[in-house]
Chains A and B, each alone.
Chain A
């Protein structure tokens, strides 16, 4: 049963991250996703220190604010201080992440958070944190939280499907229609921040980027339409979690790390397969 919960948690993280990550890729903001995932660390540590627990929704929301804060900071550096965008991203997230790590090492005795957890989370402990309703065992709390978040993400994407589509594809045309592209941008960043914070427990602050970017990138290689890309993202996300779990057991290594590796293997597989296919087509065209 524990294995099931871990794979389920991994899949939930992979799917909610991947669906949002698909938009990050299409908006050429993959590295902003990386920045957000690093930048929420101080928020998370502060939230843990204050609440002494891992599942206070209110505090998690507060932590997610750090993600939004980092996107503002990146913009301030770029617009007010006139620093080129790649450098503003790099400066912002290394700084916020450094603050987070310092906080972790200062208070690691007090809160149940340590450096390993920052790096790759501890998805193996997910089944231990059980939610009770009176006497009834409802299953692990993180599953409920992550499941609820996934529900929110899917609802947001469904309701805002057209808004996200048009602002991602053609911001000029969107503005021409009078659509507020900035609002859509910040809604997306907010959702990414909150999802990253919720996933921190399971996969840590750095590996979460793999879940944000790799499955949707794999899907991107195969898709002609945004809907298809979303469906493939879900498939590759779940596959990564599943394969990663068994790889980790086999190698006796970090589960989340192995999930990231699995997503990488899937990506490479699709990439190479497509390359061979193209070569074959070329070859056939020449021989004909």
Chain B
């Protein structure tokens, strides 16, 4: 089954297109790395997939449905730096957020919810820290809490934004083990990853981006020297100048989609 599909996806950030006509599919049960140079639209792709950013054109489908219809089956790990870790909350508080549901924000969380959160914390090895305030954790521990929160979501597909950035070796090992466990349980994990060297080791499927899609497929197919040179060999001059032009237009280009 196809877990993830991007079709003709164009997404802008601050009016400037950062993803341009992306088209690819990912089968179920893979560990997928989204790879590309800085500013190549990796985070944007994740956010568009979560339905946080709106696409200018094209769409994303998860298990052949739109993200809005299938949120219960999607887990999400935003960038660690995107939140304020001074926030007065404990490790347990954050993990419990994985059990929040859109429709049931007001009702009580059940004992079962709590057990799921506890179990998730145990899996990432953070159970002993459950009552710590989150600012007292190291970067790697904070990241593990974020992973635990997504585990508590009990999803079938997980989207993660740079979970390996700025963490210690122990946390990296622990997260990697969990990812492999998840794969054996048939889950699909798609993550933004910045490090080319480890990509070959971590993933079995790779999406190579540089504003446009360079290649997507099994890692051996994608991580060829030629593809990497295309992706990292700098931006396409004409493309980035047109992106600038689009930004300067200051208004949507596709007001009236032509019918021919």
Contacts and interface: CB of A to CB of B under 8 A. Distances in A.
Whether A and B touch directly in their complex, counting CB atoms under 8 A apart, is answered as yes
Contacts of A228: 88
Interface stretch (B32-40, B93-101, B177-185, B200-208): B93-101
A228 B93 CA distance: 13
A163 B103 CA distance: 11
Contact of A166 (B74, B76, B90, B100): B100
A228 B47 CA distance: 33
Interface in B108-166: 109, 133, 149
B106 interface: yes
A172 B71 contact: no
Interface in A143-183: 159-160, 162-163, 165-166, 168-170, 172-173, 175-179
B83 interface: yes
Interface in A115-166: 159-160, 162-163, 165-166
Most chain B C-beta atoms within 10 Å of own C-beta, residue among A28, A163, A165: A165
A198 B76 CA distance: 41
B76 A176 contact: yes
B87 interface: yes
B82 interface: yes
A179 B88 contact: no
**Category for how many chain B residues contact A:** 20 to 34
Interface of A is mostly: helix
A66 to B, nearest CB: 29
Contacts of A170: 78, 82-83, 97
Contacts, number: 77
B47 A172 contact: yes
Contact of B90 (A26, A159, A220, A224): A224
A223 interface: yes
A238 interface: no
Interface in B57-112: 68, 71, 74, 76, 78, 82-84, 87-90, 93-94, 97, 100-102, 105-106, 109
Given A179-B105, A223-B88, A229-B88, A169 B100 contact: no
A226 interface: yes
B74 to A, nearest CB: 7
A225 interface: yes
B51 interface: yes
A169 B96 CA distance: 13
A178 B78 CA distance: 14
Contacts of B106: 159-160, 162-163
A179 B50 CA distance: 12
A172 B100 contact: no
Nearest to B86: A220
B220 to A, nearest CB: 32
B1 interface: no
Nearest to A26: B87
A169 B83 contact: yes
B109 to A, nearest CB: 8
Interface string A200-239: 0000000000000000000010011110110000000000
Nearest to A181: B52
B105 A162 contact: yes
Given A173-B97, A176-B78, A224 B87 contact: no
Nearest to B92: A225
Nearest to A230: B88
A10 to B, nearest CB: 25
Given A177-B71, A220-B88, A226-B89, A172 B82 contact: yes
B173 to A, nearest CB: 25
Contacts of B71: 176-178
A175 B50 contact: yes
B47 A177 contact: no
Contacts of B101: 177
A225 B96 CA distance: 13
Contact of B102 (A159, A165, A178, A220): A178
A172 B90 CA distance: 19
A169 B87 contact: yes
A162 B104 CA distance: 10
Contacts of A163: 105-106
Nearest to B105: A163
Contacts of A159: 106
13 contacts: A162-B105, A163-B105, A165-B93, A165-B97, A166-B97, A170-B97, A175-B51, A176-B74, A177-B71, A177-B76, A178-B68, A224-B88, A225-B133
Given A165-B93, A224-B88, 7 more contacts: A160-B106, A162-B100, A169-B97, A173-B149, A176-B50, A176-B52, A225-B133
Interface of A: 26, 28, 159-160, 162-163, 165-166, 168-170, 172-173, 175-179, 220, 223-226, 228-229
| Minimum-distance CB pairs A-B, first 10 | A176-B76, A224-B133, A178-B102, A172-B78, A176-B50, A223-B88, A175-B52, A178-B71, A163-B105, A229-B88
